[in-house]
Chain A
């Protein structure tokens, strides 16, 4: 599904480029120039993020996370879970199975929801890039509010799902 969408993006974006090229060759060339420049401009930071994520995912395996989150319950478990989710970066293809196994292992819905929501919405590793792109105000407040809302969403989910 995800790779299907990626290839879909290729088709749409490069199809649009083709249409633009037919209508205005010079503008199309300019679009390619901007694309190459933004690709190269963002590459150093992207590579650093990839390297950090690789280290993080490789050195902190899922078993360690589930060992920490499987035990304990109540407020502390939920707070810890959302903080772990906020700091870690786990790709969603790994995160959702992990959350599922946590749930089956006996973690509460609130804890799992807090972990998952903070994980996907808060990006500590990517914060430098976010600040560069959208500014400190949006980047920092979005991440802090996301952490807060992860907690709120999790509390409601614990009440709704029994």
Chain B
């Protein structure tokens, strides 16, 4: 199910944006809307059926979905704005200099400190990571950014201390930091050996 989600929809969605002249508003046909939102529709139908036939199991599902929906939209607004600011305001050379392949320990520290102080679930970090990567951040730093966000965010460490104790939190933190760096290094090496990244460089949506 997950692989299907990724497959055919992704290129179909990006294609019209590339063909349009820069700055022109993107006009979508009803068909494209349907294609974009087909998984959402499918899940909505599943929710509806659940609600019709098994109302008792539907209640927690609908409540959770609603809660996450509000949380997601609340966080996605500043994150989208952050992406807009990064895109327009921060030149590629700057990201390359501070987070690129030559950025060394400073770049690693920067990506780690940036993401440990953020709020929100991992899927919120993904568009930011994509933007940084396309703007010239190294795979090492992008992996550090993502894994620190996932595993050792400050708010999360506080919750962890509360429920599992300081010893558990500190031990996991101390083991996770080197693991994250090693993982990033391995992935970077792997990408260098296999002929570079498989994402398109910064999309030229914005005229400079």
Contacts and interface: CB of A to CB of B under 8 A. Distances in A.
Nearest to B1: A52
A120 B198 contact: no
Contact of B64 (A3, A54, A121, A157): A54
B52 interface: no
Contacts of A112: 164
Contact of A58 (B64, B133, B162): B64
Interface string B58-71: 11111111101100
Nearest to B35: A44
A91 B80 CA distance: 21
A96 B155 CA distance: 12
B53 interface: no
B177 to A, nearest CB: 10
B172 to A, nearest CB: 6
Interface in A18-61: 20, 27-28, 30-39, 41-55, 57-59, 61
Contacts of A134: 126, 129-130, 133, 142, 146, 199
B123 A123 contact: yes
A6 B121 CA distance: 11
B143 interface: yes
B109 interface: no
Contacts of B30: none
Contact of A160 (B58, B59, B69, B171): B171
A123 B80 CA distance: 21
A39 B119 CA distance: 17
B84 interface: yes
Contact of B89 (A20, A45, A124): A20
Given A46-B72, A138-B139, A38 B84 contact: yes
17 contacts: A2-B119, A9-B118, A28-B88, A35-B85, A39-B80, A42-B80, A42-B127, A54-B68, A58-B65, A121-B147, A124-B2, A129-B123, A138-B142, A141-B190, A146-B183, A153-B172, A157-B175
The 7 A-B residue pairs whose C-beta atoms are closest, nearest first, are A54-B65, A58-B61, A133-B130, A35-B84, A51-B43, A5-B119, A128-B6
Interface of A: 1-3, 5-6, 8-10, 13-14, 16-17, 20, 27-28, 30-39, 41-55, 57-59, 61, 91-93, 96-97, 99-100, 103, 109, 112-113, 116-117, 120-121, 123-138, 141-142, 145-146, 149, 152-153, 156-157, 160-161
